Amino acid sequence: MVRKFDFLVIGSGIAGMSFALKVAHKGSVALICKAGLEEANTYYAQGGIASVTNLKVDNFEKHIQDTMVAGDWISDPEAVEKVVCNAPAQIEELINWGVNFDKTENGEFDLHKEGGHSEFRILHHKDNTGAEIQTSLIEAVKKHPNITVFTNFYAVEIITQHHLGIIVTRHTPGIKCFGAYVLNEKTGDVDTFLSKVTVMATGGCEAVYTHTTNPLVATGDGIAMVYRAKGLVKDMEFIQFHPTALYHPGDRPSFLITEAMRGYGAVLRNLGGEEFMQKYDPRLSLAPRDIVARAIDSEMKQRGEDHVYLDVTHKDPEETKKHFPNIYKKCLSQGIDITKDYIPVAPAAHYLCGGIKVDLDGQSSIKRLYAIGECSCTGLHGGNRLASNSLIEAIVYADSAAKHALSVLDRYDFNEDIPEWNAEGTISNEERILITQSMKEVNQIMESYVGIVRSNLRLVREWNRLDILYEETERLFKRVKASREICELRNMINVGYLITRQAMERKESRGLHYTIDYPHPAKQQDNTEVL
């Protein structure tokens, strides 16, 4: 089946939905969701969204400085300034869409402070800010007559000149995107979605790791699709591990214990009950996430333990319950009363700072294709993401991409020559157990060899094991009908390859990329990207 839409948006988090809402007045929008509308990283973001709002004590310069410091000074200054300075206007837009941020009794925003921030500037809705934003946007999307939501549709490949029989390499000038081939999971058919403008908003890739706070749909689909289409991908080595995910063996994904709890006053302790952050950083438990995650990793390895504790028992119990109702409820369901008991925590893969390389308008290196949200590399985060900068980045760049797309839409038309998906010679896949097992292997080798602490030897070992899985999977993909499982596995392997390769290319420790072979930052770094 061939479907035509002015705008094709792949992904349904804050980036994809806000873009759709900003362009829908000018054309038809297809919003592709591989699961339901709620199943996006946005929904799971607890802490909040960063913006300068209290001008009595805060300003743009402070937020810019905090972002640059957290990013280990390799963030793009233009991207940082763009996000920070445009944040307040986008906060107002979220409020107009129905988002309720917590306020104090005098009607001002109840601002939190998180690791790496010099001031209180985190807007939030209790401890489920992402869910509040996601729910509000879903309601707005459902009401808009020009937006068609396709749930349980899975994007397989983006369409370029390659599908017209033209040889496309990484050096081919003027690669264009004409839409995407999308699997309708209900029918099992791969439909052709033709578009004038395509937007990748597929989120991150942390489901390639065993321990992750991300929903298991975060398999790096958009990044892998764009990489296979010969688009630029950058900074994939910078994977942020959240220091404090609830330690409960068997849970996948891991439940996130928001950084805001440390901002509130919680302290980290080892299993002997001793505080330890003073050994690693003067900012203690509120140091940037990479430092805290490595400190916890070090404590666990030194003591042969698989978790540490987060202690909030010294705070007022009623205030704790009020600020963190969902965390309180979740922990209580596992027999932990956070007002009386220490919370067992361990690091888990949380956020990707790299992704599809884009310019200040969210345009990728492929024409007519934008990338926004976590799957994009805007340059904002550099070597490490400052807490709560992700949601604001997503909506600021969605706004820029929407404005740019609207300004050029009339220049584009549908490419009617695109052939439909060719499934000739393929068979139904009866070997799902092979796919499941391969996914587990990807998770295990990424966790073991490309985690918080890396080395050249570990990276080479991971590369060799991933290469075997790649060959096996590509052979299987060519034989069987397209399914979400085989496509996800394929994408996970592609993304694992990109993380490993770019980690190998960075001959220094920088930000989130820490290697025992180069324990100190180099005087000069190469700013690598995959061409």
- The catalytic residues are 289
Task: Give the span between the Cα atoms of 371 and 199, in whole angstroms.
Answer: 6
Closest among 38, 265, 215, 23 to 132, alpha carbons compared: 38
**Residues 184 and 153: beta-carbon distance below 8 Å:** yes
Question: Residue 202: exposed, middle, or buried by beta-carbon count in 10 A (0-12, 13-18, 19+)?
Answer: buried
The one-letter code for the residue type at 331 is C
- β-pair type (49-50, 29-33): unpaired
Which residues sit opposite 158 in a β-bridge?
Answer: 180
**Residues 212 and 254: beta-carbon distance below 8 Å:** yes
Polymer length of the chain = 531
**How many Cβ atoms sit within 10 Å of the Cβ of residue 407?**
10
Dihedral class, residue 137 (left if φ above 0, else alpha if ψ from -120 to 50, else beta)? alpha
Half-sphere exposure of 512 (CA within 13 A, CB side): 31
Question: Strand runs (DSSP E) across 29-105, as ranges?
Answer: 29-33, 49-50
- Using DSSP, state whether 125 is helix, strand or coil: coil
**Residues 119 and 58: beta-carbon distance below 8 Å:** yes
The one-letter code for the residue type at 497 is Y
**Residues 103 and 128: beta-carbon distance below 8 Å:** no
Instruction: Dig out the tokens for 33 from the structure.
Output: 């969701």
Question: Residue 321: exposed, middle, or buried by beta-carbon count in 10 A (0-12, 13-18, 19+)?
Answer: middle
**How many Cβ atoms sit within 10 Å of the Cβ of residue 58?**
18
Query: Which contiguous run of DSSP H or E holds residue 81?
Result: helix 77-96
